[in-house]
């Protein structure tokens, strides 16, 4: 019997018919964990897509109240956007530093990322407070309900991200660049970049289109 | 201090929920004391509650599902009894506000806490075994998912004793479910419980998709996976894409109720039809999240008991994926009466008919698998055949409902209710009962009593037809759904037959408990010593029954479709087992109480949110975060099973396998 024949009926451990996918057996944790996290991020994006659809449906349902034209301030949003996009860049720098196992720069860039996130969040809270002060709170109309929920949900994600950054800084400090810790850092950076992607959509659909003359 | 919670929340003036709650609490206390007196708590805690073993988590899911089946079915019996009593002058025994809670609880519990846990339990138990691996991708998260599901189930059932449940139907349509029309805590119980359980389900989706796409035995390429794994993959992709929409929708309704937002309200520019659209963008895929794994179970059962490879394996896979995609394009058929216009209704009507095509492909594949096979009429096979007959009827009434003009006539009638019970019972309940019977020996090492199993099947089968065929007729006669009182006495005979049908199903459920107890008592007569009691074809039958903690001493090397069947045939021809491999240490994840503690804090937070006890809600959230950080801080993730121990267990398996081999011949 030839080796191929033996393989075909399963007598040897050498697979003669390499079918491409899955022949190597289970993937390592460094593949499995970020892959699973990616799936979670995708499901999170589906959640946002429901909020976007809601916003699109209710954008003109102002109930006689203020409209997007009257409310949104492009300049403020521009600063917000720069802060968040820059934080994505510094998050990338933190990952490079982590890859080189440089504790000081990893912590430093994570800190800068967190601070930029805080700036973003601060501006957003200022915008929210300002709108509510003007009587344009989420209870005013369906449009404002949808606006506060969509943008607020992104803000809540940024807040969760900030808590995560803080936790990771403590973990990297306490445990060093262990494989499980670097996997978590990778997941954190996936999460942080995903928030950027969603923000770009919010920026376009809510603020740019909302202030088109 | 205690928000809206006062002594009035406990229904002292309503004997039915009060007595039920007291009886349930006594039963729980009795079980707890019994377990404590026997000294089983440490065992339960160490081996089950904190377990990260996919097999044990699967079993716990199914236990939850069976308990919730009893709860949900009690609701069904109460509804049937009310409808057979409250005819004409009689008002029956349930006032409307109580009856409305019962039909809402029935739907909610049966879908979210019976069908979902049953399906997820079977996927949990079987899928890693079929893929030839040792666990799912994220074992701890699996445990967390289970306990979050339990937390949701706990809150829904708590509403019986403290407060009330929603009176809005199982999908809580606004504006009825808005604060203005449902000021009580019922809808809040509904929303919070399902949000918590929904998080658990999404985590399951992440876990299982990752497992199937990234954690398979060597050689287990996609087109070699058993069809049950394919349907599990499809169902979990649907979970990932559909459940976040549910979370978003419920969050919006919660914002409306708690903070006065205007998503779905009548005033402020709100749009309640938006809710219908969003909820069914989740709701229709949900039907297939339940049905596809059931189709997978039938595929395994029909193939095994026909002694043939599944007919049209590839077409089965393509049909599964087609259903997976088209299921997102049919949601509007749940409300053709919205008034979206002829074009939109026609589009969704046609899409709904198209989705019947891949389902039809599957039916033919199962039939052709049986054709020319040596069919063994075991209990799972009974369910499979019963399913094919019943599901075709349900599918045809579904195609009927997919025609917008017909739908306008029978919308919200008992015809619709009969249709979806026809497909859910015919496909999902028969499927999980088949799966339960089929994989029971793998989980516990002995089979269930066959004779009782067949009686249970006939109870479900006959009971279903008696209970639901009259409802089709009633629907045509104009009976709308959710009637607390029947004003037309000429419907009495139909309702009486339906009541009898429900009692026949009750007999089946009681016998299921009897069968379990009897089978445990007489287990020595039906031990499965070989690990392969049904002459199976997929990898779960390669290992012992029950499988060792690590499932496989060495991950099986897969050659061709039907991994285990190929290997078995080779062994028979060669008259010897595969050569003994070199055993190595196995790393297995440590058990952890993270899941149960997380779920504890989730339950506390949920309860606090329902009753507006804000300080407690904040404490609960802090607690949950602290548990996650505490878990993330641990240094030991795994424990080692030494090679010597593995070899010892594996040699025992090889010994029984060698004996089994002597009795086998190559099938004709």
Put simply, whether A23 touches B (Cβ < 8 Å) is yes
* Among candidates A7, A21, A61 on the partner chain, residue whose Cβ is nearest the Cβ of B222: A21
Q: What is the pLDDT of residue A22?
A: 56
Distance of CA B401 to the CA centre of its chain: 25
| Cβ burial, residue B130 (10 Å; 0-12/13-18/19+) | buried
Percent of chain B with pLDDT over 70: 100
Distance, in Å, from the CA atom of B499 to the CA atom of B431, rounded to the nearest integer, reads: 24
The whole-number average pLDDT for the span B560-574 is 89
Count each helix (H run) and each strand (E run) in chain B, helices first: 22, 2
| DSSP-derived 3-state class of residue B413 | strand
Confidence of residue A72 (pLDDT cuts 50, 70, 90): very high
The whole-number average pLDDT for the span A155-169 is 97
Put simply, whether B269 touches A (Cβ < 8 Å) is yes
| DSSP-derived 3-state class of residue A136 | coil
* Among candidates B133, B249, B573 on the partner chain, residue whose Cβ is nearest the Cβ of A50: B249
Q: What is the pLDDT of residue B581?
A: 87
The whole-number average pLDDT for the span B62-75 is 97
Asked if B220's CB is within 8 angstroms of A22's CB, the reply is yes
Q: Which residues in chain A have Cβ-Cβ distances shorter than 8 Å to B248?
A: 47, 50-51, 54
Confidence of residue A15 (pLDDT cuts 50, 70, 90): very low
Residue A17 has pLDDT above 80, yes or no: no
Q: What is the pLDDT of residue A8?
A: 43
Whether B482 sits among the annotated catalytic residues: the reply is no
Residue with tokens 């709108």: A131
For residue A137, report the phi and psi dihedrals to the nearest 5 degrees.
Answer: -80, 175
Distance, in Å, from the CA atom of A124 to the CA atom of A146, rounded to the nearest integer, reads: 16
Put simply, whether B625 touches A (Cβ < 8 Å) is yes
Q: What is the pLDDT of residue B11?
A: 85
Question: How far B170 CA lies from chain A's nearest CA (Å)?
Answer: 21
Percent of chain B with pLDDT over 90: 88
Residue A16 has pLDDT above 60, yes or no: no
- The pLDDT tens digits of the residues spanning A97-150 come to 999 999 999 999 999 999 999 999 999 999 999 999 999 999 999 999 999 999
Asked if A139's CB is within 8 angstroms of B268's CB, the reply is yes
The whole-number average pLDDT for the span B320-346 is 94
Alpha-carbon dihedral sign for residues B621, A189, A156, A175: positive
The whole-number average pLDDT for the span B257-283 is 96
Distance, in Å, from the CA atom of B120 to the CA atom of B125, rounded to the nearest integer, reads: 9
Q: Which residues in chain B have Cβ-Cβ distances shorter than 8 Å to A39?
A: 205-206, 209-210, 240
The overall average pLDDT reported for chain B is 95
Distance of CA A197 to the CA centre of its chain: 7
Distance, in Å, from the CA atom of B257 to the CA atom of B602, rounded to the nearest integer, reads: 20
Residue B494 has pLDDT above 60, yes or no: yes
Whether B149 sits among the annotated catalytic residues: the reply is yes
Q: Which of B203, B358, B332 is nearest to B277 (CA)?
A: B332
The whole-number average pLDDT for the span A24-45 is 93
Whether B359 sits among the annotated catalytic residues: the reply is yes
Tokens of B148: 């979050």
Confidence of residue B12 (pLDDT cuts 50, 70, 90): confident
When mean pLDDT is compared across B114-128, B135-149, B454-468, B580-594, the lowest value belongs to B580-594
Put simply, whether A180 touches B (Cβ < 8 Å) is yes
Q: Report the interhelical angle of A29-58 vs A179-202 (nearest 10°).
A: 20
Distance, in Å, from the CA atom of B537 to the CA atom of B303, rounded to the nearest integer, reads: 8
* Among candidates A9, A20, A57 on the partner chain, residue whose Cβ is nearest the Cβ of B221: A20
| DSSP-derived 3-state class of residue A35 | helix
Tokens of B567: 């290997």
The whole-number average pLDDT for the span A182-201 is 96
Give the side-chain half-sphere CA count within 13 A for B637: 11
Please write down the long-range contacts of B18-22, taking CB distance under 8 Å and 24 or more positions apart: B20/B160, B21/B160, B21/B161
Confidence of residue A21 (pLDDT cuts 50, 70, 90): low
Put simply, whether B271 touches A (Cβ < 8 Å) is yes
Asked if B268's CB is within 8 angstroms of A50's CB, the reply is no
Nearest chain A residue to B254 by CA distance is A149
The whole-number average pLDDT for the span B22-51 is 94
CB atoms within 10 A of CB A135: 10
Distance, in Å, from the CA atom of B158 to the CA atom of B479, rounded to the nearest integer, reads: 32
Asked if A46's CB is within 8 angstroms of B245's CB, the reply is yes
- In this structure, are residues B379 and B454 in contact, taking their beta carbons and an 8 Å threshold? yes
CB atoms within 10 A of CB B204: 30
Confidence of residue B576 (pLDDT cuts 50, 70, 90): confident
Per DSSP, the residues of B365-391 read HHHHHHTTS-----HHHHHHHHHHHHH
Confidence of residue B613 (pLDDT cuts 50, 70, 90): very high
Please work out, in degrees rounded to the nearest 5, the angle formed at the alpha carbon of residue B597 by the alpha carbons of B592 and B603: 150
Per DSSP, the residues of B91-145 read --SS-HHHHHHHHHHHHHIIIIIIIHHHHHHHHHHHHHHHHT-SS-S-HHHHHHH
Whether B20 sits among the annotated catalytic residues: the reply is no
Confidence of residue A25 (pLDDT cuts 50, 70, 90): confident
Q: Which residues in chain B have Cβ-Cβ distances shorter than 8 Å to A174?
A: 633
Q: Report which DSSP code applies to B477.
A: T
The whole-number average pLDDT for the span B617-636 is 93
- The pLDDT tens digits of the residues spanning B397-440 come to 999 999 999 999 999 999 999 999 999 999 999 999 999 999 99
The whole-number average pLDDT for the span B117-146 is 97
């Amino acid at each position: 019997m030839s080796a191929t024949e033996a393989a075909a009926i399963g007598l040897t451990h050498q697979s003669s018919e390499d079918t491409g996918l899955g022949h190597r057996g289970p993937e390592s944790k460094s593949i499995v964990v970020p892959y699973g996290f990616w799936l979670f991020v995708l499901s999170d994006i589906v959640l946002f897509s429901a909020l976007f659809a809601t916003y699109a449906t209710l954008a003109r349902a102002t109930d006689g109240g203020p409209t997007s034209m009257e409310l949104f301030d492009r300049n403020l949003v521009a600063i917000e956007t720069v802060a968040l996009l820059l934080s994505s860049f510094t998050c990338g720098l933190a990952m490079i530093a982590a890859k080189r196992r440089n504790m000081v720069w990893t912590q430093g860039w994570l800190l800068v990322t967190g601070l930029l996130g805080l700036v973003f969040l601060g501006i957003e809270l200022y915008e929210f407070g300002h709108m509510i002060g003007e009587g344009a709170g989420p209870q005013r109309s369906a449009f404002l309900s949808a606006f506060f929920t969509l943008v607020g949900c992104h803000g809540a994600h940024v807040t969760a991200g900030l808590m995560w950054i803080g936790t990771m800084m403590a973990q990297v400090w306490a445990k060093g660049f262990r494989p499980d810790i670097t996997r978590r850092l990778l997941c954190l950076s996936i999460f942080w970049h995903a928030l950027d992607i969603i923000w770009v959509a919010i920026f376009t659909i809510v603020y740019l289109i909302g202030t088109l003359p | 201090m205690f928000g809206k919670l006062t002594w009035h929340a406990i229904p002292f003036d309503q004997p039915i929920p009060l007595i039920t709650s007291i009886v349930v609490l006594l039963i729980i206390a009795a079980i707890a004391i019994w377990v404590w007196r026997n000294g089983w708590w440490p065992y339960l805690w160490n081996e089950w509650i904190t377990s990260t073993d996919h097999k044990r988590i699967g079993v716990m899911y199914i236990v939850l599902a069976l308990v919730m089946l009893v709860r949900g079915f009690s609701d069904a019996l109460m509804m049937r009894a009310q409808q057979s009593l409250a005819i004409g002058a009689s008002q029956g025994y349930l006032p409307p506000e109580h009856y409305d809670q019962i039909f809402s609880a029935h739907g909610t519990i049966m879908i979210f806490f019976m069908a979902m846990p049953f399906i997820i339990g079977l996927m949990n138990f079987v899928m890693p075994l079929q893929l030839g691996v040792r666990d799912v991708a994220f074992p701890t998260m699996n445990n967390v998912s289970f306990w979050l599901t339990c937390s949701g189930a706990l809150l829904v059932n708590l509403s019986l004793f403290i407060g009330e449940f929603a009176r809005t139907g199982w999908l809580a349509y606004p504006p009825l479910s808005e604060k203005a029309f449902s000021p009580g805590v019922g809808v809040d119980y509904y929303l919070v419980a399902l949000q918590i359980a929904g998080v658990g389900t999404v985590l399951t989706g992440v876990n299982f998709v990752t497992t199937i796409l990234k954690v398979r035995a060597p050689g287990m390429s996609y087109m070699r996976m058993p069809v049950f794994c394919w349907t599990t993959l499809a169902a979990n992709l649907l979970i990932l894409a559909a459940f976040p929409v549910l979370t978003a929708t419920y969050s919006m309704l919660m914002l409306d109720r708690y903070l006065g937002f205007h998503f779905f309200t009548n005033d402020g520019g709100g749009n309640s039809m938006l809710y219908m659209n969003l909820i069914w963008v989740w709701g229709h895929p949900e039907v297939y999240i339940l049905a596809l794994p059931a189709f997978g179970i039938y595929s395994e059962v029909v193939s095994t008991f026909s002694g043939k490879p599944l007919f049209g394996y590839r077409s089965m896979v393509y049909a599964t994926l087609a259903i997976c995609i088209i299921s997102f394009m049919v949601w509007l058929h749940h409300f053709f009466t919205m008034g979206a216009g002829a074009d939109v209704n026609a589009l969704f009507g046609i899409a709904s008919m198209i989705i019947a095509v891949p389902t039809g492909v599957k039916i033919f594949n199962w039939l052709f698998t049986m054709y020319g096979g040596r069919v063994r009429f075991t209990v799972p096979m009974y369910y499979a055949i019963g399913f094919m007959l019943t599901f075709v009827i349900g599918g045809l009434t579904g195609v009927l409902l997919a025609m917008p003009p017909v739908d306008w006539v029978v919308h919200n009638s008992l015809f619709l209710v009969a249709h979806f019970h026809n497909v859910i019972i015919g496909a999902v309940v028969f499927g999980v009962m088949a799966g339960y019977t089929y994989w029971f020996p793998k989980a516990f090492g002995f089979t269930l009593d066959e004779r009782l199993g067949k009686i249970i099947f006939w109870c479900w089968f006959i009971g279903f037809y008696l209970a639901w065929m009259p409802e089709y007729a009633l629907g045509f006669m104009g009976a709308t759904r959710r009637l607390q009182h029947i004003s037309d006495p000429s419907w009495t005979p139909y309702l009486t037959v339906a009541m009898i049908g429900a009692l026949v199903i009750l007999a089946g459920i009681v016998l299921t408990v009897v069968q379990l107890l009897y089978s445990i008592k007489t287990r020595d007569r039906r031990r499965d010593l070989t690990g392969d009691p049904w002459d199976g074809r997929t990898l779960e039958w390669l290992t012992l029954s029950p499988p060792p903690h690590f499932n496989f001493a060495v991950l099986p090397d897969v050659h061709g479709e039907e991994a285990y069947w190929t290997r078995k045939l080779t062994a028979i021809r060669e008259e010897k087992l595969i050569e003994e491999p070199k055993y190595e240490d196995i790393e297995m994840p440590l058990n952890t109480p993270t899941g149960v503690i997380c779920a504890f804090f989730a339950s506390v937070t949920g309860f606090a949110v329902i009753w507006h006890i804000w300080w407690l809600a904040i404490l609960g959230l802090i607690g949950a975060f602290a548990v996650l950080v505490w878990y993330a801080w641990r240094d030991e993730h795994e424990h080692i099973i030494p090679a010597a121990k593995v070899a010892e267990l594996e040699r025992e398996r090889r010994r029984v396998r060698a004996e089994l081999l002597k009795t086998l011949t190559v099938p004709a």
